[in-house]
Chains A and B, each alone.
Chain A
């Protein structure tokens, strides 16, 4: 019975947040678009009219038409199909590398901000060393060491963006820590872990949600950079960022080669931001109704 009640409470909390999220039209639009993108990527072979490496050599640089909705690229491949397939790599890289850096970065930042003193000193100085190397160089170095490929690209991008998350988490933990309700929690003998997870984190999480939604977009573009220098996803596998950078040579004559992958990235980031904003508001009871 006790577990049943707990379950009911957990569920009702979730539905409460969902109910508030549903009222936010922008956030819902973002959510729907994202889900659509994910579904399209999963069922790419069923949806795409052509294979991602099928060449139509009589039809190179074709402008959008009924046959090729987004036109074809310099090798005569159908851009529409490549965007559909490319979502797989791009979305995976975007979400997974944000997940990697958020998990490590936020954990480190939370520990540094919560315990302060020497622990903080050691963690932050190590991260300073990390941050002294530009994130792009760092990810090049990591993926050069690990070798090219999707998983390594994710690790490289994820690891190189850790310091940003740590710093922000640390700062917001420190500001929440000064509040009297943290002291109150201590006075009722709340353990450190519980204080961190139940009292500090929920009150410090909003800037992190924003950073994470923004992060997905920037990770996709860093992945593009990596594939550009041959360290990311290997051609001919499609990936939005790589398509964008491959098309830049023809941008003066054939706008459609860069436009559509660019739009795909932009719309994904935009819908993530809208969803993130809505989620942040829905999670805050102070903004109820």
Chain B
């Protein structure tokens, strides 16, 4: 049974100019212990998707199942329980930590809120968590502004782990960090996954990061999931024209390599009051009349889902 299942999830925002379809009809399921990478350009709704699943935003439509249970609408008490199982690691370690809380205060807070441990047990648990994420004990009473980005992100990870969750949404956890520190944090996250059997939903726009960490990858474009399959397969054989263009943008570190970059023409379509058809059609080299109709995410090959009516022609 899948740990997390999302069916036709929708999140719309009302704006003065119309309804913004941030997440539109997204369906996927995620097995326990796996990592789903969610990629897409800025503003495609990948962060909103993660936040909606965690109930940090209310969903507009669709269903969310966690451990087989429908959690689309939950009471406040139930939400408290859910938050022990589902956590989030934020993108920017500079704004995701309260500047007036010391390291130990930040990590202790989720424990305090659940109120299961005595004071002494909490202190021990904070020590343990700091060790797990690789923070030196001497940093206990430091404040975030005294630490570098990598250490701050470790605090964020420790806070997310404090409640022993099963599922963690990682919202671009390394994109604000230096490249050298990115690798450390990614390795830490992989270690933690292995030790605790964590399930990740890894939101990012960094394709090399997503390839390194994901079992499966979902590609989003303007609120919709356009392609989803196993990580290796996506890089070998992308089907959707958008995925092809996206992957062709990865620089190849070889001076003799023939760079067959697919350059997209046109502007990104507005997500406000979008037309029913394929949202990528306006920029797609393969677009035809049929693309004006709504596109279904269909199983192109076992385990490989594509939302493109011209997948046959494109892949030929």
Which chain A residues have a beta carbon within 8 Å of chain B's beta carbons? Answer: 1-2, 5-6, 179-181, 183-190, 194, 198-199, 202-203, 284-286, 288
Q: Does any Cβ of A come within 8 Å of B235's Cβ?
A: no
Complex CA gap A5/B123 in Å reads 12
Known: A181-B95, A183-B56. A188 touches B145 (CB 8 A): no
Q: Which B residues are CB-close (under 8 A) to A284?
A: 100
Q: Which residues between 128 and 166 of chain B lie within 8 Å of chain A, taking CB atoms?
A: 143, 145, 156, 159, 162-163
Partner of A180, one of B54, B87, B90, B118: B90
18 further contact pairs, Cβ within 8 A, besides A188-B87, A188-B159: A2-B119, A6-B119, A180-B96, A183-B51, A185-B98, A186-B56, A187-B56, A187-B88, A188-B109, A188-B163, A189-B79, A189-B110, A189-B113, A190-B109, A202-B100, A203-B98, A203-B99, A285-B143
Known: A5-B119, A288-B143. A187 touches B99 (CB 8 A): no
Partner of B95, one of A179, A188, A190, A285: A179
Q: Does any Cβ of A come within 8 Å of B97's Cβ?
A: yes
Q: Does any Cβ of A come within 8 Å of B83's Cβ?
A: yes
Chain B interface SS verdict (over half): loop
Instruction: Determine if A187 and B109 form an interchain contact, defined as CB atoms under 8 angstroms apart.
Output: no
Q: Does any Cβ of A come within 8 Å of B80's Cβ?
A: yes
Instruction: Determine if A183 and B119 form an interchain contact, defined as CB atoms under 8 angstroms apart.
Output: no
Q: Which A residues are CB-close (under 8 A) to B90?
A: 180, 183-184
The winner among B79, B92, B98, B119 for most chain A CB atoms within 10 A is B98
Q: Which A residues are CB-close (under 8 A) to B95?
A: 179-181
A174 to chain B, nearest CB (A): 15
B38 to chain A, nearest CB (A): 18
Instruction: Determine if A181 and B110 form an interchain contact, defined as CB atoms under 8 angstroms apart.
Output: no
Known: A5-B119, A179-B95, A285-B143. A187 touches B87 (CB 8 A): yes
Q: Which residues between 79 and 120 of chain B lie within 8 Å of chain A, taking CB atoms?
A: 79-80, 83, 87-88, 90-92, 95-100, 102, 109-110, 113, 118-119
Q: Which A residues are CB-close (under 8 A) to B79?
A: 189
Complex CA gap A186/B98 in Å reads 13
A161 to chain B, nearest CB (A): 28
Instruction: Determine if B80 and A189 form an interchain contact, defined as CB atoms under 8 angstroms apart.
Output: yes
Complex CA gap A217/B20 in Å reads 50
Complex CA gap A181/B156 in Å reads 10
Q: Which B residues are CB-close (under 8 A) to A180?
A: 90-92, 95-96
A6 to chain B, nearest CB (A): 8
Complex CA gap A203/B92 in Å reads 18
Q: Which A residues are CB-close (under 8 A) to B118?
A: 2
Complex CA gap A124/B162 in Å reads 40
Q: Which A residues are CB-close (under 8 A) to B143?
A: 285-286, 288
Complex CA gap A187/B86 in Å reads 9
Chain A interface SS verdict (over half): helix
Complex CA gap A92/B90 in Å reads 48
Instruction: Determine if B110 and A199 form an interchain contact, defined as CB atoms under 8 angstroms apart.
Output: no
Q: Which A residues are CB-close (under 8 A) to B162?
A: 188
Complex CA gap A284/B100 in Å reads 7
- Some 24 contacts from A to B, beta carbons below 8 A apart, are A1-B119, A2-B119, A6-B119, A180-B90, A181-B95, A181-B96, A181-B98, A183-B56, A183-B90, A183-B96, A184-B90, A185-B98, A185-B109, A186-B56, A187-B88, A188-B110, A189-B83, A190-B109, A190-B113, A199-B98, A202-B100, A203-B100, A285-B102, A288-B143
A227 to chain B, nearest CB (A): 42
Complex CA gap A182/B51 in Å reads 13
Partner of B83, one of A5, A187, A203: A187
Q: Which B residues are CB-close (under 8 A) to A286?
A: 99, 143, 145
Complex CA gap A187/B51 in Å reads 9
A188 to chain B, nearest CB (A): 4
Complex CA gap A183/B95 in Å reads 10
A60 to chain B, nearest CB (A): 57
Q: Which B residues are CB-close (under 8 A) to A188?
A: 83, 87, 109-110, 113, 159, 162-163
Instruction: Determine if A184 and B96 form an interchain contact, defined as CB atoms under 8 angstroms apart.
Output: yes
Complex CA gap A203/B91 in Å reads 21
Q: Which 10 A-B pairs have the closest CB atoms?
A: A180-B96, A188-B110, A180-B95, A285-B143, A189-B83, A181-B98, A202-B100, A189-B80, A2-B119, A286-B145
Q: Which A residues are CB-close (under 8 A) to B156?
A: 184
B218 to chain A, nearest CB (A): 22
Complex CA gap A42/B54 in Å reads 58
Instruction: Determine if B100 and A184 form an interchain contact, defined as CB atoms under 8 angstroms apart.
Output: no
Known: A190-B113, A286-B143. A184 touches B159 (CB 8 A): yes
CB-CB nearest in chain A for B92: A180
The winner among A186, A187, A198 for most chain B CB atoms within 10 A is A187
